């Protein structure tokens, strides 16, 4: 029997409509496609609802959360119930491996990355967030506990590259109107955080407690009503991108 889902956030209990808020951002998807190169077969580890899975390659998805697996669109292949730390595949079974916004959920990061490398002949690709940059997001002024919860869960980029045996790190700018609804996606749309559906799709809110969440939202609402948010950050409403925490890490083939 495989291990229980490894993450610190239980998507099965939370019952989040994750798929409708966290859509694949096209600019991020294009960067992933470029990193995949000529790979034909791909394992997507911690696949969730299937964001960023290419449609023109043979994809094997692995996802331990039943709730996440159930939200995968019908045009994607069903995900296998397994964890990153124990991939049920032989050595060098795939041309490439992908893990998007999931490594912070793994019980044993080193083992999970080692397993990805073991089953993959070509590039291992990880999309994640740089914790030190995540801490600087303006939401810290209204919800410092939220920023701390999110950044403290993320492994350092240097740790990931070391565990992968070296890798190229690319900063991915967050475009205006980003459709992948993590916190920085709304850098110029602060009103989005007043929507509970948006907050529920950002797992870090699950670590601060309802009292802190309500107090944080009230602070932001007041700042929007009295104009102080726009005085400090209004330029972001018309910015075409935000140089945030999103990173694409690409380790070449073995």
The tens-digit pLDDT sequence of the chain (254 residues) is 333 434 544 444 445 566 678 889 999 999 999 999 999 999 999 998 898 999 999 999 999 989 889 889 899 999 999 999 999 999 999 999 999 999 998 999 999 999 999 999 999 999 999 999 999 999 999 999 999 998 999 999 999 999 999 999 999 999 999 999 999 999 999 999 999 999 998 888 988 999 999 999 999 999 999 999 999 999 999 999 999 999 999 999 76
How many domains does the chain divide into? 1
Determine phi and psi for 38, rounding to 5 degrees: -90, 10
Contact status, residue 244 vs residue 180, Cβ threshold 8 Å = no
On whether residue 44 sits in a domain, the answer given is: yes
Alpha-helix residue ranges (DSSP H) falling in 58-141:
66-70, 109-118, 131-134
Q: Give me the CATH number covering residue 235.
A: 3.40.50.150
The sheet with strand 168-171 has its strands ordered as 58-62, 41-45, 96-100, 124-129, 246-251, 168-171
On whether residue 106 sits in a domain, the answer given is: yes
On whether residue 89 sits in a domain, the answer given is: yes
Contact status, residue 117 vs residue 90, Cβ threshold 8 Å = no
Contact status, residue 9 vs residue 27, Cβ threshold 8 Å = no
């Amino acid at each position: 029997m495989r291990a229980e889902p490894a993450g610190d956030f239980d998507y099965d209990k939370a019952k989040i409509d994750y798929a409708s808020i966290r859509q694949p951002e096209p600019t991020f998807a294009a960067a992933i496609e470029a990193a995949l190169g000529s790979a034909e077969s791909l394992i997507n580890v911690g696949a969730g609802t299937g964001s960023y899975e290419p449609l023109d390659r043979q994809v094997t998805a692995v996802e331990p959360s039943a709730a996440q697996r159930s939200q995968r669109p019908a045009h994607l292949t069903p995900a296998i119930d397994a964890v990153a730390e124990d991939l049920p595949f032989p050595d060098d079974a795939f041309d490439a491996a992908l893990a998007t916004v999931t490594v912070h959920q793994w019980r044993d990061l080193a083992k999970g990355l080692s397993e990805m490398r073991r089953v993959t002949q070509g590039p291992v690709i990880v999309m994640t967030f740089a914790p030190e940059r995540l801490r600087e997001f303006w939401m810290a002024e209204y919800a410092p506990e939220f920023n701390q919860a999110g950044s403290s869960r993320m492994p350092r980029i240097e740790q990931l590259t070391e565990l992968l045996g070296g890798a190229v790190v690319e900063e991915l700018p967050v475009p205006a109107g980003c459709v992948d609804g993590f916190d920085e996606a709304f850098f110029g749309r602060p009103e989005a955080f007043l929507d509970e559906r948006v907050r529920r799709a950002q797992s870090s809110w699950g670590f601060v407690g309802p009292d802190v969440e309500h107090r944080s939202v009230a602070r932001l609402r007041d700042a929007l009503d009295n104009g102080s948010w726009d005085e400090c950050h209004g330029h972001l409403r018309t910015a075409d991108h935000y140089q945030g925490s999103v990173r694409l890490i690409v380790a070449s083939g073995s």
